Amino acid sequence: MTTDDAIIQSRAYVRETDQAAVQRIWREVGWIDKDNQTHLDDFLADGDVLLATLDDEPECAVVTVPGTLRLQSVDLPLCAVTAVTTSRVARGRGMARRLTALQLAKAAKKGAAVAALGMFDQGFYDQLGFGSGSYAHDFRFDPASLTVDVCRRTPRRLTCEDYQQMHAAMVARHKLNGAVVLDSSLMLKAELAWVEDGFGLGFGDTRLTHFLWLAPKGDHGPYSVRFMAYENADQLIELLGMLKAMADQVYSVRMLEPPEILLQDLLRRPFRNQALTKGSEFMSQHTAEAYWQMRILDLSRCVAAFRSFGEAFQVNLHLTDELAMSLPEGAWSGVAGTYVLSFGATSSAVSGYDNALPVLSCTVNAFTRWLWGVAPASRLAITDQFRAEPSVLMALDLVNPLAAPQPGWDF
């Protein structure tokens, strides 16, 4: 243990005494400035905020909030890591890694089955057992090129004061595999408020059923869709039609592809438009990246939520988990161990070993990715620490042909 390690302490956030220090940390990492730091209180209000200190001064903060993450049709209790920030003077000490590990251990003891976060880059959170999620498809397009009908209904105007209605709509939205819900409406309020000149448009009489929250830019865009909720296909098409109705003024819209569709199918001449607008402020473009990660915290609960698509299959699982290396001795140490996995109409993970079964050896990072359908076993055997005989990999491919998970909630 170094001298610096010896003086690092962790404790819970206390607003009255720590607010200024946390605001300073967030300013130093460039997430806020003095003009919009007031929204940070809402962001932290419903969160579990753990601080690491140097000489009793907060220099690192990790925020988590509860929610759910869907596996197939089951909503599992989620620990969402919504912010990891380290001050300028505390870099390189491992504070963020160890503080995040403590938050994961705490969440696991409280009953969270899975954790997820948005990553600044791939590699850092792998040390804590996180595996990258699936690609999110980012589209920039001329709304006039949408092939849907222009929306003729008049939408409701939404402001940040409608955050509770928008949160309720996000909770009630149509959800597929991988869908995330965060319990905190105040955190959503802060996210809405941080969008400069943000505005919302939606529909619903007695309650808000579907809406968009957008970040405008100049007279002609690009407009960015920051939040989007809908309960069925008709409502999704109506929201796209509302974007098309803006095309008389707005030349470009940016949005993540809704998980229910291939957005390119609803764009007229997408390749032509990309070529004609290349290099323009209003360029049409389609990119993809995995910006989020997740990891299992409760193996038996996550496996029990899974239903096999193929024939029943059993395998021994030898699972490794690097999380323990970032936690103090005696703390919850992750999910490493040897298990017998059974997949079928019902599935289970039971501690033990069966000599009659084949063996799968992998990290919790890779197993999480396989279970949620981020990548099949045969591909993970190439890119991740996921080892088994070819016949086992083939069987696992048949067990789980899940659609790629999409959170649908940026955090």
Write the CATH number for 183: 3.40.630.30
Tell me, yes or no, whether 173 and 266 share the same domain.
yes
CA 75 to chain CA mean position, Å = 14
Tell me, yes or no, whether 316 and 265 share the same domain.
no
Task: Please state, in angstroms and rounded to a whole number, the distance separating the CA atoms of residues 224 and 388.
Answer: 44
In a domain, 205, yes or no: yes
User: How many domains is the chain partitioned into structurally?
Assistant: 3
Provide the CB-side half-sphere exposure for 103 (13 A, CA).
34
Tell me, yes or no, whether 47 and 81 share the same domain.
yes
Tell me, yes or no, whether 245 and 194 share the same domain.
yes
pLDDT (tens place) for every residue of the chain, 411 residues total:
333 444 468 999 999 999 999 999 999 999 988 877 889 999 999 999 999 999 889 999 999 999 999 999 999 999 999 999 999 999 888 899 999 999 999 999 999 999 999 998 888 999 999 999 999 999 999 999 999 999 999 999 999 999 999 999 999 999 999 999 999 999 999 999 999 999 999 999 899 999 999 999 999 999 999 999 999 999 999 999 999 999 999 999 999 999 999 999 999 999 999 999 999 999 999 999 999 999 999 999 999 999 998 889 999 999 999 999 999 888 888 999 999 999 999 999 999 999 999 999 999 999 999 999 999 999 999 999 999 999 999 999 999 877 789 999 989
Tell me, yes or no, whether 141 and 280 share the same domain.
yes
Tell me, yes or no, whether 324 and 374 share the same domain.
yes
Task: Please state, in angstroms and rounded to a whole number, the distance separating the CA atoms of residues 364 and 385.
Answer: 9
In a domain, 131, yes or no: no
Do 293 and 125 meet the contact criterion of CB atoms below 8 Å apart? Answer: yes
Tell me, yes or no, whether 148 and 219 share the same domain.
yes
Written in H, E and C, the secondary structure of 59-120 is EEEEEEEEEEEEECCEEEEEEEEEEEEECHHHCCCCHHHHHHHHHHHHHHHHCCCEEEEECC
Last residue of a domain, one of 242, 258, 284: 284
In a domain, 409, yes or no: no
* Counts of helices then strands in the chain (DSSP H, E): 12, 20
Three-state secondary structure call for residue 58 = strand
Last residue of a domain, one of 231, 260, 284: 284
The 8-class DSSP code of residue 366 comes to H
Residue 140 backbone dihedrals phi, psi, to 5 degrees: -120, 130
> Nearest CA to 192 among 221, 232, 159?
159
> Nearest CA to 158 among 219, 206, 203, 223?
203
In a domain, 410, yes or no: no
In a domain, 118, yes or no: no
Last residue of a domain, one of 256, 284, 312: 284
For 44, the domain range is 3-112
CATH of the domain at 330: 3.30.1050.10
CA 352 to chain CA mean position, Å = 32
In a domain, 408, yes or no: no
Tell me, yes or no, whether 145 and 252 share the same domain.
yes
Tell me, yes or no, whether 100 and 152 share the same domain.
no
In a domain, 151, yes or no: yes
Three-state secondary structure call for residue 408 = coil
Task: Please state, in angstroms and rounded to a whole number, the distance separating the CA atoms of residues 160 and 168.
Answer: 14
The 8-class DSSP code of residue 143 comes to G
Tell me, yes or no, whether 203 and 312 share the same domain.
no
Task: Please state, in angstroms and rounded to a whole number, the distance separating the CA atoms of residues 235 and 364.
Answer: 38
In a domain, 334, yes or no: yes
Tell me, yes or no, whether 32 and 107 share the same domain.
yes
| pTM of the entire predicted model | 0.92
Residue type at 334 in one-letter notation: G
Do 363 and 321 meet the contact criterion of CB atoms below 8 Å apart? Answer: yes
Tell me, yes or no, whether 280 and 303 share the same domain.
no
